[in-house]
Chains A and B, each alone.
Chain A
Amino acid sequence: MKKTAMVLSTAALVGLTACGGNGDSAAEDSKGLINVGGKNFTEQFVLAKITSIYLEENGYEVEESTNMGSEVVRDALVNDQIDLYWEYTGTALVNYLGEEPLAEEEEAYDIVKEMDLEENGIVWLDMADLNNTYTLMMREDDAEEKGIGSVSDLADYVNDNPGELNFASDAEFATRSDGLPGAEEAYGFSFGSDNVNRMDAGLTYQALRDGDVSVAMGFSTDSRIVNFDLVNLEDDQSFFPAYNAAISVRDEVLDEHPELEELLAPLAEVIDTETMTELNYEVDVEQRNETEVAREFLEENELIN
């Protein structure tokens, strides 16, 4: 009589069969081959990877051609060897269009967008809030202590305490009109020539970290800003030229894939200076895989699942 009960209960155990998951169905027919270009520094590798994965996940076949020089990748775009890449407005304005640098982000973008399409048939998609330009940096704790959050604050402090702060700069920045002299003029302060330490561009971060200087120049998305607990001082008077990143794409490519403009728009929305700095930090300092970092970023922003 208990046999029956046992058989019944044994049957319950059969419910334990694992359900083998399988991947998505076979790839849908590719929407086309896109060649994504990129320059030869971390931020560019990451941006190219983000774009590649985003396009791949949206059904495009992607070829990546990164690790190129700035002008080279631009040529490759113009010459039909790549289809799109992330370029900076300041770079285009000065290097490709022969214009003077502009500090106003929107203005710079608008001019670039208009001129580049007109002259070179290059379309600039939406600009990201990622401005990879010159920046003045301080140690985070130091800035907090001195109550300095912007370049104006710095100017006030320097004027109040002349000679107290010293500055690390590369040679070019120290002399360029859109560098330190221009900034000092625009904000109305001066470190004084004795207080400016000239060194190679890559060494300013370390000098600042080690306390050799109180203020240093740098580039705003450099991973070391995160790594060394540094802080960018806000360019509240918009003095430094705008180097906003945006995808530049050949006109013909958009003719062929008109949907790309809309598809890529969200990328520009989610990438900003701070985020980029973080991503650079992940790759440069944490030594993480670019693909992993890019995918994680896209997933976090729910651009792919």
Chain B
Amino acid sequence: MKFPIGLPRGLTKRFIFLGLWIFLLPMTLIFMLAVFLSQQTLEQQSDDQTFVAAQTLSLQTRQVFDHQIDMLEAFVFDYRNNGNLERLEERASSHALREPVFSEVMLYNADGDPAAGPDAVDSMAPQAVSEVFEEAQWRRSSFVKGVTTESGHVRVYISVPVQEADHEPINGAIIGEINPSYFYHLIQTSTIGSEGWNLLVSSDGTVFTDTKGNRFRNESIREENIYDLLSRGRMGTFRGKFFEEDSVAGYAPVERLPFYAVTIQPESQAGAPIATLQQVLSSGWMLLFLAGLVLLGVSARWIVTPVRRLTDQAMSYAEGESWHLQVMKEKDEIRTLAKAMQFMANDLQEKERFLQRILSSFPYGVITTDSSGYITSVNREGAQLLNISARSLTGRPVETITSKSLSRHIRVLCGRSRPFRNHSEEFNFVNHKQQKLVIKVSSTPLQDEKGERIGVLTTFWDHTEYRKLEQHIQRSEHLAAIGQMTAGLAHEVKNPLGTIQMAGDLIEAETEELRKKYQLRGPAVSMIQEASADIQEETRRLNELVKRFLKMSKPHKDEETTVDIGELTEEVARLVSHQMKRADIDCTVYHKDDGVIVRGDRSQLMQAFLNLALNALEAMERVDRGVLSITVRKKGSNAEISFHDSGAGIPASKLKRIFNPFFSTKQEGTGLGLSITHDLINEHKGSIEVESEYGKGSEFTVRLPLDKEGEEAQ
């Protein structure tokens, strides 16, 4: 499955991965750390700020109470000095009017009743006041008490004992109720920011006053998480829900007073700088990250692209395209690599071209196939022979070849599992010009360097000429044989014919003498005369006939040309090379001298040499690894051509007769080959002789007069 957006692969992937690790990830980590730390710091700051505000609030509150207690205690101190209870009562009552912190202040007598009498206006809750008074009785010192009435209202009182001396039993107490609105306004001053608010909570968890318009006054915070902290006498900062709002709350108990001071900042306000900072840092990170990615991309291109171009080039080179990449401009390793690769490619190309040239110059058709029978290459000669372009054959199954026999031959070998060495075959092939050709095929296994068979190498060539020549030799040999036989017959006839002629002449002469002597007459005599005349006549005619026949049967040179014996022997050797090879005979021509040229009939000389070569071949048929050495040299005014074979040899008894017609050491031989050769050499004013050692081999030596003009011309 392919991704619509290609992920980076290979080098680019590695590069980007590396870049991410080395640059982007550390950067991200640093950013994260920065954000985290600054967040911590800012949080700490806002915590501290809130806590300090709560402490301030606590202190403010305490100072107010301390001040008021001092004032009331001063009244009592005065009373101790002057004993004027009425004045004390008056001062206490009027104090409430002067000090907005009190809603009311009253002097209570030893029984806990208002000293001003039962008619005194007492707006304070009597139940709560009696509770305070009771405590005043046993504490005998000033104190502040918060009382939550049954209706759930919290009331706060200052109680100052009236006594003769400190810690003595009390004669009464000045009890003042605190006016919450005073604190409502007082604590307004220390709120934090526009959203922050403060509250004072009594020790039992009831809100005494709050700066949100006393919205929570008399409500209990015992269910709030913060109360748990407050009730344990702790101070500090709390983050969490407070009255269902995410808040940062600073809290501190008010020293020696039954209050907790709480400063609230909504999380949104407290966290605003954090959010801003985070936003700034995040966008900074984003920007840097993007820039980093772009940079990474660009540098990836910068570094990876040349490498990729190189690899692409190498890939397409491997697929057969030529090397066309320009050497890069930068002097770096890639340039060196590109240069090296180009050099290697060129070298390889050169070598391949060289091999290609060898293959295409090869005078035989060559086809290679892989082991499954697909053609891997065809050389030029092969393509020409089959009249089909190499390109249209390569990569196709062998059956594409126009010659069914050839393809069958290869197919069989491809499918052959047994090893084979050299497999030859011959078959007819009608080419595109409708010429009937004889094709000879030889195949060997194609092996890799480990000796594993990877296909079949088939060599094939046009064998037609050779076959024709071979037929021609056979035919002329046959004709020569007939000629020789006829000549021999004529020779045999000629002698008796002479005798007959002489006898005829004698008969005529004797008859004439007898007739003259005896004057013989008569028809009988003339009949004898007539008959002998006939005999004479006919024998003469017959003799003429035989003479003419003999003359005709004698080999004669058709046309004389200069013949290069060296070239000629080479040609002979080539003609017989296949047969030699088949018989496992090593046939070599040694040119001791150059320009060995004679005058004569080229085809007759060729036949003579061919006969000698074939004769040697036959002599070595039963010999392993026979050797035929043809040596050409000049000797005096003669050309000397020797055929030395390592064949069976000729027994000495037969040695003298081997040039005789109809003499043969071979069973199938006509006995005419060497005889004809002998005649042909004679015809060229040459000589032939033989030396042989039975069982070891023979040497035929032909001598022909050198052509003087040709020599001079040279």
Which A residues have a C-beta under 8 Å from some C-beta of B? 1-6, 9-10, 12-13, 15-16, 18, 20-27, 40, 45, 49, 52-53, 56-57, 61-72, 75-76, 79, 81, 289-292, 295
Contacts and interface: CB of A to CB of B under 8 A. Distances in A.
A6 B167 contact: no
13 contacts: A4-B5, A12-B28, A16-B36, A16-B39, A23-B238, A25-B228, A27-B228, A67-B256, A68-B141, A69-B141, A69-B166, A76-B138, A289-B255
Nearest to A63: B203
Given A20-B240, A21-B239, A68-B141, A2 B28 contact: no
B255 A68 contact: no
A28 to B, nearest CB: 9
B28 A295 contact: no
A5 B18 CA distance: 12
Contacts of B139: 65, 67-68, 72, 76, 81
B662 interface: no
B256 A290 contact: yes
Interface string B287-300: 00110010011000
Contact of B239 (A5, A9, A22, A56): A22
Contacts, number: 126
Contacts of A5: 16, 20, 293
Contacts of B166: 69
Interface string B275-314: 0001000100110011001001100000000000000000
Given A13-B285, A22-B239, A295-B235, 14 more contacts: A1-B8, A12-B32, A15-B32, A16-B36, A27-B228, A40-B141, A56-B233, A57-B233, A66-B256, A67-B139, A68-B167, A69-B167, A81-B139, A295-B234
Interface string B219-255: 0000101111101111100111000000000001101
Contacts of A65: 135, 139, 143
Contacts of A292: 235
Contact of A13 (B32, B238, B239, B256): B32
A289 B255 CA distance: 7
A5 B140 CA distance: 77
B293 A2 contact: yes
B226 A23 contact: yes
> Considering the complex of A and B, which 10 residue pairs feature the smallest CB-CB distances, nearest first?
A69-B167, A27-B228, A53-B233, A56-B232, A22-B240, A56-B233, A1-B8, A81-B138, A72-B140, A23-B225
B282 A290 contact: no
Interface string B136-155: 00111111000000000000
A76 B275 CA distance: 55
Contacts of B706: none
Contacts of A10: 286, 289
Contacts of B5: 1, 3-4
Contacts of A79: 138
Contacts of B8: 1-2
B538 to A, nearest CB: 116
Contact of B232 (A6, A26, A57): A57
Interface string B26-53: 0010011001100100010000000000
B636 interface: no
Contact of B20 (A9, A27, A291): A9
B231 A56 contact: yes
B625 to A, nearest CB: 71
B325 interface: no
Contacts of B234: 295
B289 A26 contact: no
Nearest to B297: A2
Contacts of B546: none
A15 B39 CA distance: 13
B28 A9 contact: yes
Nearest to A62: B233
Interface of B: 5-8, 12, 16, 20, 24-25, 28, 31-32, 35-36, 39, 43, 55, 135, 138-143, 166-167, 203, 223, 225-229, 231-235, 238-240, 252-253, 255-256, 274, 278, 282, 285-286, 289-290, 293, 296-297
Given A3-B5, A9-B24, A291-B253, A18 B140 contact: no
Nearest to B27: A9
A289 B61 CA distance: 14
B142 A67 contact: yes
Given A12-B28, A20-B240, A23-B228, A67 B16 contact: no
Nearest to B40: A18
Contact of A6 (B203, B227, B235, B290): B290
A75 B170 CA distance: 14
A53 to B, nearest CB: 4
B32 A16 contact: yes
B516 to A, nearest CB: 140
Residue of A3, A23, A40 ringed by the most chain B CB atoms within 10 A? A23
Nearest to B24: A9
B28 to A, nearest CB: 6
Contacts of B223: 26
Given A13-B282, A289-B255, A72 B141 contact: yes
A137 to B, nearest CB: 27
A26 B7 contact: no
A44 B142 CA distance: 16
Given A45-B256, A76-B139, A27 B32 contact: no
B143 A18 contact: no
Residue of B32, B35, B253 ringed by the most chain A CB atoms within 10 A? B253
Contacts of A45: 256
B253 to A, nearest CB: 6
Nearest to B7: A1
A12 B532 CA distance: 143
Nearest to A76: B138
B392 to A, nearest CB: 42
Contacts of A63: 203
A263 B138 CA distance: 28
A237 to B, nearest CB: 34
Contacts of A291: 233, 235, 252-253, 255
A12 B25 CA distance: 9
Contacts of A57: 232-233
Contact of A9 (B135, B225, B232, B289): B289
B560 to A, nearest CB: 88
Residue of B24, B232, B235 ringed by the most chain A CB atoms within 10 A? B232
B157 to A, nearest CB: 14
A295 B274 CA distance: 31
Given A1-B7, A20-B239, A56-B231, A6 B138 contact: no
A10 B20 CA distance: 12
A72 B142 CA distance: 13
Contacts of B290: 6
Contacts of B297: 2
Contacts of B32: 12-13, 15-16
Nearest to B282: A13
Given A1-B5, A3-B5, A69 B140 contact: yes
Contacts of A13: 28, 31-32, 282, 285
A58 to B, nearest CB: 9
A201 B166 CA distance: 18
Contacts of B235: 291-292, 295
A2 B16 contact: yes
B169 to A, nearest CB: 9
Contact of B227 (A20, A21, A27, A70): A27
Contacts of B240: 20, 22-23
A18 B38 CA distance: 12
A65 B257 CA distance: 10
A68 B231 CA distance: 23
A18 B228 contact: no
Nearest to B294: A2
A15 B29 CA distance: 11
B53 to A, nearest CB: 15
Contact of B7 (A4, A12, A16, A21): A4
A219 B505 CA distance: 200
